[in-house]
Amino acid sequence: MNSDLTKQLVDKFPKLYSKNFHFSVGDGWYGILYDLSAKLSEYIDNADEELLEQMRETGIDFDQTCLVGQCKEKFGSLRYYLNCGMPKEVNDIVDVVEDIAGTICEVCGKEGKMRNGGWIKCLCDEHDENRKK
């Protein structure tokens, strides 16, 4: 993801992403990552003591650590890893967005699907054609 879009997410969601966080995905997934980040951020902001304690025990301390460990593309799919154990409902939110990413062109954000051809990527018709040239 380009540095402008990366900066927007990092600046907007400081509890999720460290200052030098790197999104190893295409720009087309910015929109779904923004939505996912907003949901996670809201969830954390409303977390009760019990949840915060659970997060601390499983490896996160917001003074030093951000929630998201890694965000990358692998075999055309979005992989989004958190730095600590979270309740099932949070993991479900992440799972849903990972599934949605499989229907969105990683280059431009339009409707896409999984394409084979050397390496697997989720692309729209146009960007799949471009790739073959």
Q: Which residues bind Zn ion (CB under 5 A)?
A: 105, 107-108, 124, 127
- Nearest-approach distance from CB 25 to Zn ion, in angstroms: 13
| Nearest Cα to Cα of residue 23 among 54, 65, 66, 68 | 68
| Nearest Cα to Cα of residue 29 among 91, 71, 89 | 71
- Nearest-approach distance from CB 27 to Zn ion, in angstroms: 10
Query: Distance between alpha carbon 23 and the CA centroid of its chain, in Å?
Result: 8
Q: Which is nearer to Zn ion, 42 or 125 (CB)?
A: 125
Query: Distance between alpha carbon 5 and the CA centroid of its chain, in Å?
Result: 13
Q: Which is nearer to Zn ion, 115 or 127 (CB)?
A: 127
Contact 57, 83 (CB under 8 A): no
Q: Which is nearer to Zn ion, 35 or 126 (CB)?
A: 126
- Nearest-approach distance from CB 10 to Zn ion, in angstroms: 24
